[in-house]
Every structure is written in structure tokens, then in C-alpha cells.
Amino acid sequence: MEIIDFSKLYELDFNLKNLFAVKQYWKEKSYFKMSNPRKTSCLLLLCGCSAKYKFDDGELMVPRHSVIYIPEGAVYESLFFDCDNSVPATILIEFSLYLPDGSSFCAANAPTLVKNEAGLMINELFNDAADMYSQSVISRSKIKSIIYNLIYEFSYSERQKSIYLRGFNTIAKGISILESDFKSEITIKELAQICHVSESTFRRLFREYMGKSPAEYRIERRISYAKKLLKTGSMTVIEVALETGFDDPAYFCRVFKKQTGITGGEYLKSYNTFQ
């Protein structure tokens, strides 16, 4: 199965299926063995215990108040200790990850610590998912939105760590600005000033980090978003152009055709024709 690292899920289009959430109550020194490969991936919040996980390639100590990701297909053993019986020991959220073409993937190949200190918002999201799943009428769309939110938070955190670990900390603020607001008209010169580096240095480091220039990255993000909007069939090409940060619809059409090989109007017509 394909592995797509958490840090790359930040801007990846993916789907969720096979949702489930539950609060779990483990006693001190409780032992669990997953002998058969897991059928789904999961996120596990250790809110009232610590745990030790053993798997083929090693072991992982997971402290209380942290979150781990366990991939689909994993085989492992876990031991729970330091249990506080006044709260759930763990909250489990299960799901399967799929790319738009229907192929499944995982975010790691073994149990992985994704958050070593879960904040209040993370705790609330886990609790909300478990509480909603216990209701007589389950809102799967709401639970799905919670899981998307959790994955976004963990992915963004991992992405920020990767920026610093790979030595791009000097332009980290600029990278974050371009990633979070690709519709902004902020110039490369202004981004460089924010990062206290020269414009040429910012361009060079950004290309080393992303594999493309800042301008190319911004255009690709805008066109990718435009394609999603056009697929809905609810907006005209001009409306999509303006929504994605292009003040000139004619320029948008030229860029869209250069990126995709067809015009925005042709893309809109062909997609809605075959759906």
C-alpha cells in the first residue's frame, strides 16, 4: 500500500471511509495484541494512560496526553499503564484513507507518534467524535469533518517540523504564508523582507524546498483550486477566476489552458457532461 507522509497531507485531496469512534477504558497493565493486520487506520488519544507499542521494526513509548497514528495493515502489541480510572484511558478514531482515484493509502508504515502533547482543541475533537458515534442517530458527515480537522492539525504540525528539520527555517514564515493564502497578492520581495533575507535567497531556498519557484507554486495551487470549483458546476469561469485570485479572467483562461491543456470553459463542460 502506498505511504504518503503526514506532512504531505496538508494540501492533498483525499477521502475518508469506514469511520468509527469510541472511548476505551483500560485497566492497569492491560495487554492488547493485534495479531491480524488492521483493517483500518486509526488515531488514538491517550487521555488517561500511557502505553508501550511493539511491532516488527521496533517499539514505541507513548506518554499520556499524546496521540498516535496506527496504519491499516499494522500488526502490533500494546501494554497500557499509568491508568487514571476517572477518565477514558484512550479514545479511538478509525478510518480508511483513499485518493480521489479510489486507491487506498496510509500515512506511515508503523505506529507513529503524531502529537506528543495534545491541546484542548485536539481533546475536544476526539471527545466530540466518540460522543457523536454513541448517539442513536449518527451524523457521519459531522464525524468526517472532525477527522479531517484532526488530520489537518497533525499534518500542518508535521509540515512545520519538516521545514525546520530540513534547514529551511529562515524562510519558514514565507512558506507558511504561501501555503495558507495562495490567493494573496503579496510579492516575493515582501515575503523575503518578512523572512529577513534577500529576494534571490528566498527564491533559491524556496525552489530547493518545494522543487519549483514561488510563482509556479502559487499558480499551481490556484489552478488546482479552480479545477475543484469548476467540478461543482455551480460557478461560471469568470466567477472561478475571481475566486482563485485572478483579477483578469482572460489571464486566468490563458494560465488554465497552459496548466491543463484545455480552457476553463472546456473543463467545466467536459466534467459536467461525463458526470
Per-residue pLDDT tens for 2-58? 999 888 888 788 999 999 999 999 999 999 999 899 999 999 999 999 999 999 888
Answer yes or no: is pLDDT of 75 > 90.
Answer: yes
pLDDT at 210: 84
| Helix residue ranges, H only, the chain | 120-133, 140-165, 172-180, 188-195, 199-210, 214-232, 237-243, 249-260, 264-274
- Region(s) of the chain under CATH 1.10.10.60: 219-274
CATH topology of domain 219-274: Arc Repressor Mutant, subunit A (1.10.10)
Closest CA to 16 of 109, 134, 150, 123: 150
Residues contacting residue 146 through CB under 8 Å, at least 6 positions apart: 125, 128, 129, 132
| Interval 241-258: pLDDT, tens | 999 989 888 999 999 999
pLDDT at 274: 46
pTM above 0.75, yes or no: no
d(CA 160, CA 163): 5
pLDDT at 41: 96
Report how far Cα 197 is from the mean position of its chain's Cα atoms: 29
- pLDDT, the chain, mean: 89
**Signed CA dihedral, 45, 48, 54, 59: sign only:** positive
The DSSP call for residue 43 is E
Minimum mean pLDDT range among 114-123, 126-135, 139-148, 254-263:
114-123
CA dihedral of residues 160, 163, 164, 169 (deg, nearest 10): -110
**Quick count: other Cβ atoms within 10 Å of Cβ 206?**
25
Three cell numbers, residue 99: 485518493
pLDDT at 138: 83
Three cell numbers, residue 49: 494512560
CA dihedral of residues 259, 9, 7, 122 (deg, nearest 10): 140
Lay out the sheet containing 50-55: strands in order across. Answer: 30-34, 76-81, 50-55, 58-62
- Region(s) of the chain under CATH 2.60.120.10: 2-157
CATH assignment of 2-157, among 3.40.50.300, 1.10.3720.10, 2.60.40.10, 2.60.120.10: 2.60.120.10
Residues contacting residue 117 through CB under 8 Å, at least 6 positions apart: 65, 66
Minimum mean pLDDT range among 55-59, 232-236, 267-271:
267-271
**Quick count: other Cβ atoms within 10 Å of Cβ 234?**
9
